[in-house]
Structure 1
């Protein structure tokens, strides 16, 4: 693609879905000409209470609190998340089919209405226009990790084992209880006493303050660093310097991002069950990518899934099939 491409990454603004859409969009542009425009939509009442398949005019369902989807149209629109799928198709229709329509994750609409659907293996979605990934797509790249490692290089202590813990929280299917957090923190503390460890924990928006408090109390005196939510999120920096990563079971996105490092990744089971997420973790463990955290630190090797680059390549193939090498933004 020699001409500039304009790519919209459209979500409701949740960090997990936005990072997936942005990750594929950035991989698609790469180092070539083009731009990624992040669009965060807000669906107004009563449409946000209804399945998107029942929205008669999806673009009219968008509220003023979010970004507008209006001309000039992009070359490609990449959406992620259930409520972003119908607006994606509406833009495709409004543009007369000129916009290449890509949706990430199961769209809960007929997949053949999109030019391409990028769905993880555990979604169980298949079709002529469905590109299946091993894990979730994301923004973590080898180049980004290398840059962060160089940035942190002066303060590194090679003799100490760096453990990064990515903490999610309770959702509709899984529960990170205080009892689980307490047992987990006790195992981490024992690890710090047993060997030289640099322990870093980064909570997410879903992490309940009581969970953070328990972790802080149990890990007091170990030298563990827990991000308190102030300043820039050290998420990428701590991924980059990690020798081992531990992720809570609830997050497919964080597990997938951890796997991009090629380092050993442990998962912490939570209460509850989700057929989709449990299938995801069972598959990764069976294939030798991850292990359940039991308090030990082992070493194993695997080839990190290259799902984001593969998804971008699938989009380029669709562009070539359409004879669309890229163009300036359309006037609608």
Structure 2
């Protein structure tokens, strides 16, 4: 069955990743939109009154899709609006914490650390993503000679570095501490493959280059093609900075040990996420030493898709 789906997000990169992962796993017939709510409606999303922001929106007119998948707070009123306009015929799915009563939607997936509950709610520790083992192998094939051109005595260690956000400053001091810890790995003969993100500060590059000078490493800092997937596929071990739930979740997919470089800051949501991960040995802290333990690939995407299909078929019968 190739149902027609409209995917609506708040426009953030993290929301787009989750939305595309789920929608593309469900159908090839998907149209994507950003909510693009203007003030004052953006200020009152996700509440019902914000639906007024979509009245007259020429993007959302008949014929309506079989399913609407929304992701992010500002996308909530768009899904509610389409459910009402279609007289309930659009099956509505919401990804992440809707903030409002989840019964407004037909199905809700939320990360376990958001503690959302309800008869139509599914939670998982890790979030959905679009990675596949085949796509990682393909990326490794095209990047192999650049990322690891020679035989390595130690391990190939992938390091995924994020940047500041509203919860974590991730300043120069923390970056220097991370670089010093990475230096210890390089001195032990490990090959370091480092990727910075769009949130990474410019001074991270200089700190890494100065600290790791004369050692075996590869650094991608935003110029040219991104080897992110190749790093996930080629690494024997992954180190991830603790500022991104999505990045940590993707690192848990390949099936190699994952260590998190925890940052100074405070977020109850992030703290609950880390508690779930640490309690189940999904990750361990990184403090300058590689840890080894039994590890297996983690992927919640297929389970989420299966639950959505079950709920959709049940809705169709009704």
**TM-score, normalising length: structure 2:** 0.91
Residue 114 of structure 1: which of 105, 114, 133 is its match? 105
Tell me which residue corresponds to 1:330: none
Tell me which residue corresponds to 1:45: 39
2-side partners of 1:254 and 1:41: how far apart?
Answer: 24
Question: 5 Å matches for 1:63-212?
Answer: 68-152=59-143, 156=148, 157=150, 159=152, 160-195=154-189, 197-212=190-205
Give the Å deviation of 1:26: 1.9
- Kept after mapping to 2: 8 A contact 1:41/1:68: no
Residue 18 of structure 2: which of 20, 31, 34 is its match? 20
Question: 5 Å matches for 1:300-319?
Answer: 300-319=293-312
2-side partners of 1:112 and 1:163: how far apart?
Answer: 44
Describe the SS at the equivalent of 1:52: coil
- Kept after mapping to 1: 8 A contact 2:97/2:110: yes
Q: Which moved more, 1:314-323 or 1:285-294?
A: 314-323
Tell me which residue corresponds to 2:292: 299
Relative to structure 1, is the Cα distance of residues 68 and 211 closer, same or farther in structure 2, using a 3 angstrom cutoff?
Answer: farther
Describe the SS at the equivalent of 2:68: strand
2-side partners of 1:68 and 1:158: how far apart?
Answer: 54
1-side partners of 2:224 and 2:34: how far apart?
Answer: 22
2-side partners of 1:146 and 1:61: how far apart?
Answer: 46
1-side partners of 2:197 and 2:221: how far apart?
Answer: 10
Deviations 1:96-143 (A, max 9, x none): 212111111101121001010001111111110001112111112223
Tell me which residue corresponds to 2:268: 275
Give the Å deviation of 1:41: 3.0
Describe the SS at the equivalent of 1:266: strand
- Kept after mapping to 1: 8 A contact 2:46/2:98: no
Aligned length: 313
Give the ranges of 4+ consecutive aligned residues of structure 1 lying more than 3 Å apart after TM superposition: 67-72, 149-160
Describe the SS at the equivalent of 1:199: strand
Give the Å deviation of 1:56: 4.6
Q: Which runs of 5+ in 2 are unaligned?
A: none
**TM-score, normalising length: structure 1:** 0.87
